[in-house]
Amino acid sequence: MAVRFDIITIFPGMFSSVVSESIVGRAVKSGLVEINRVDLRDFTEDKHRSVDDRPYGGGPGMVFKPEPVFDAVENVLGEVGSSAEPGIRKIILTPQGRRLDQPLMRELSGESRIVLLCGHYEGFDHRIVEGLGFEEVSIGDYVLSGGELPAMVLIDGVVRLLPGALGHPESSEQESFENGVLDFPQYTRPPEYRGMKVPEVLLSGNHAEIEQWRHERALERTRASRGDLLEKLELQETGQELDNT
């Protein structure tokens, strides 16, 4: 199913590489994905084309004004309410949002239309969130200078899940996070390089043993760098056991 992204941003030029290169570039060329960039400054009316203003109550920084954002969103979607519409997601990229993870990527890959609003400065006038029904999404616990790179992260993660976007249909189902753990280590030829050998079991042709080895390495890696994922997995499994009794 095709997806359309509308990106509302003050830096539309930043998206040129994602729309033309790699997996997303190919999906755009083949018509699987449509990406519409909207320059927020086209919806300003003053001669400085200002999109932001000082915060009520004082404090440093600037806040995105409601008028240009409401106009841009209504130009893209028509009259919009604050309630959810089927097939349409309205997302603000901001460090205050819910964390983007693989389940959310999967969920979004089932939508037909995704409107992305890229934040800047000290954020948005909150009436934008409430009045237009936006959900807030963050890509992690660090601060970036704007929502453009996070929007590109979201687009890339969603597009590669669309049927037909990757070379191998099953490759997105076998990777890190899809089953709650990280990927096992991979090797290719040559069997020995600078004295480092490919693990014997991978050359054995014994598929059951290879499977077992990969499972163990995946758990080992996850335990070493992402113990939080294993805890989540254990909680899920205990939950399922409780459901079954």
Which residues bind to ligand 6GU, rule: CB under 6 A? 93-95, 119, 138-140, 142-144, 146-147, 150
Nearest to 90 by CA among 116, 119, 128: 116
CB of 67 to ligand 6GU, least distance (A): 22
Residue that is written with structure tokens 């805890």 in the block = 231
Residue that is written with structure tokens 């919009």 in the block = 80
Please say which residue, 138 or 172, places its beta carbon nearer to ligand 6GU: 138
Please say which residue, 59 or 78, places its beta carbon nearer to ligand 6GU: 59
CB of 122 to ligand 6GU, least distance (A): 10
Q: Around Cβ 147, how many Cβ atoms within 10 Å?
A: 28
Asked if 114 and 5 count as a contact pair (C-beta separation under 8 A), the reply is yes
CB of 188 to ligand 6GU, least distance (A): 34
Please say which residue, 27 or 118, places its beta carbon nearer to ligand 6GU: 118
Please name the helix (run of DSSP H) or strand (run of DSSP E) that holds residue 99, with its range, or none.
strand 88-99
State how far the Cα of 119 lies from the Cα of 146, in Å rounded to an integer: 6
Please say which residue, 7 or 181, places its beta carbon nearer to ligand 6GU: 7
CB of 218 to ligand 6GU, least distance (A): 27
- Coil, strand, or helix at residue 138? strand
Please say which residue, 3 or 93, places its beta carbon nearer to ligand 6GU: 93
Please say which residue, 95 or 133, places its beta carbon nearer to ligand 6GU: 95
CB of 190 to ligand 6GU, least distance (A): 40
Which phi and psi angles does 186 have, rounded to 5°? -115, 155
CB of 144 to ligand 6GU, least distance (A): 4
Which phi and psi angles does 118 have, rounded to 5°? -95, 120
Nearest to 41 by CA among 17, 64, 19: 64
Q: What angle do CA 204, 177, 26 make, to 5 degrees?
A: 90
